[in-house]
Amino acid sequence: MNSVEDKNVLIVDTASTAELISKMLGESRNDIVEDGVVAVDHLMSTHPDVIVADVNVQGSGIRLAELVGMSPNLNHIPVILTSSNPTAETILKARNAGASSYLAKPFRPSELRSRIVAVSAEANLPQATEATDEIAEKVQLDIGLLARVFKLVNSSSFGFSKRVSSLNLAITLLGLEEIANLVMTVQVFERLGGESEKGRLDLEAFWKHSIGTAFAAKAIARKLQVELESAFLAGMLHDLGRVVLDRYFSDYYGAVLQHVRDKGGALIDAEESHLGLTHTHIGGQLATQWQFAPNYLSAILHHHNPAEANKYQRLVCLVHMADILCREFEFGSGGDDETPAIDDHVLERFSLRERGMDHLREAVKAELDNAESFLAALSS
């Protein structure tokens, strides 16, 4: 299990801030020291799983990251540096010092926890740096994508004190996972059509729901520690059949949408009664034609009826929950005003009770704040 609760975290910060960070991490085994020199002595005897250090601690958090990276006995420990006043120069120094990640204060508990999980999963830091350089080269070739990257990193959710204009710095701040998600989303968005496409579907609400479901699925995956690599894309693609019906069968689908507006009820039921098929059928056909991986195909076909999925049930169940929680939080539109109950099969599969669902709701709600910034960058 790669979760925060499994980690021994060394927090290097002032006593009051360190205590607050420790509370954010909940049940993880946290140690607290107030300066870098003491931290090094502590490292030699305890070997924590992750270090979270402020750049301005006594001895310098950046110097601490450098020492950890240079030590053959310690260089496997990821270092997350934090700062309440980040500058481009400081962040680049942190990256060059071998820091795994950088967080601007104040940050939400969900941000810190997800960052700890992410850096713990990295195979090794040199490869990550090479990957950053390689991605930067590719992003530079796509002017539209480049603009979206800068819009996202300069959004209010990152709280950066000065405008970021360096691509390598932007990728360092966003992280490789966020860049990969942005690239995948842009490709799907452009291939299926953005908000300017003619049709009866409210495409702005559709894409908001799709991206919200992607972020919700990612949050649930991290919380449950399953399907971490495929949750985001599966969530984003789950309703693609709706936009295909709207684009190629606009008059027919318009009648379905009008029926839902006038009479209410579930969109999928109206599709079945008016067209004899549903957006899951159409989405599945398109996914097969485009040769999507079978796990994504299963999520598209069965997110409304997860018990019927013969394979990839964990991913299907994640997307099912993410779709419903996005509806619950009214993030975009799933096509109707219904908020169905989560399937009992899903609750049983993950042994979820009321308290467990409350934890998932909290994680999803926090992640939807990030989805707003992501969506703004995508729509630029």
Distance CA 24, CA 35 (A): 20
Q: Number of helices and strands (H, E) in the chain? A: 19, 5
Could you give the residue range(s) of every CATH 3.40.50.2300 domain in the chain?
4-123
Amino acid at 130: E
DSSP codes of every residue in 209-260: HHHHHHHHHHHHHHHHT--TTTHHHHHHHTTHHHHHHHHHSHHHHHHHHHHH
The answer regarding whether domain 4-123 maps to CATH 3.40.640.10 reads: no
DSSP codes of every residue in 52-97: EEETTSBT-HHHHHHHHHH-TTTTTS-EEEEESS--HHHHHHHHHT
For residue 55, report the phi and psi dihedrals to the nearest 5 degrees. Answer: -65, -25
Distance CA 46, CA 27 (A): 18
CATH topology assigned to domain 186-378 = Hypothetical protein af1432 (1.10.3210)
| Residuewise pLDDT in 10s, the chain (380 residues) | 456 667 888 899 998 898 888 888 876 678 898 888 888 888 877 888 899 999 999 888 898 888 888 777 788 888 999 988 777 777 778 877 888 888 888 888 877 887 887 777 653 434 445 555 666 666 666 666 677 677 766 765 555 556 666 676 777 666 666 676 666 666 676 666 654 456 688 888 998 999 999 999 999 998 898 888 788 889 988 998 998 898 888 889 999 999 999 999 999 999 999 999 999 999 999 888 888 889 999 999 999 999 999 999 999 999 999 999 999 999 999 999 999 999 999 999 999 999 999 999 999 998 898 888 777 766 65
Count the Cβ atoms, other than its own, within 10 Å of residue 165: 11
- Burial class of 356 by CB neighbour count within 10 A (0 to 12, 13 to 18, 19+): middle
Q: Which of 339, 244, 236 is nearest to 296 (CA)?
A: 236
Residue 8: predicted pLDDT: 84
Q: Which of 50, 8, 49 is nearest to 27 (CA)?
A: 8
Distance CA 147, CA 6 (A): 38
Q: Which of 108, 158, 134, 220 is nearest to 377 (CA)?
A: 158
For residue 245, report the phi and psi dihedrals to the nearest 5 degrees. Answer: -60, -40
Name the pTM for this structure. Answer: 0.64
Distance CA 53, CA 14 (A): 10
Task: Give the CA distances from residue 102 to residues 43, 79, 83, 354, in Å, rounded to whole numbers and listed in that order.
Answer: 20, 9, 8, 34
Residue 121: predicted pLDDT: 64
Could you give the residue range(s) of every CATH 1.10.3210.10 domain in the chain?
186-378
Residue 196: predicted pLDDT: 45
Q: Do 31 and 49 touch, CB atoms closer than 8 A?
A: no
Q: Do 279 and 245 touch, CB atoms closer than 8 A?
A: yes
Distance CA 97, CA 64 (A): 9
Distance CA 216, CA 212 (A): 6
Which residues, at least 6 apart from 128, have a Cβ–Cβ distance to it below 8 Å? 100, 122, 176
Q: Which residues pair with 58 in a beta bridge?
A: 35
Q: Which of 344, 315, 305, 325 is nearest to 224 (CA)?
A: 315
DSSP codes of every residue in 93-146: HHHHTT-SEEEESS--HHHHHHHHHHHHH-S-HHHHHHHHHHHHHHHHT-HHHH
Task: Give the CA distances from residue 320 to residues 298, 315, 329, in Å, rounded to whole numbers and listed in that order.
Answer: 11, 9, 15
Q: Do 154 and 164 touch, CB atoms closer than 8 A?
A: yes
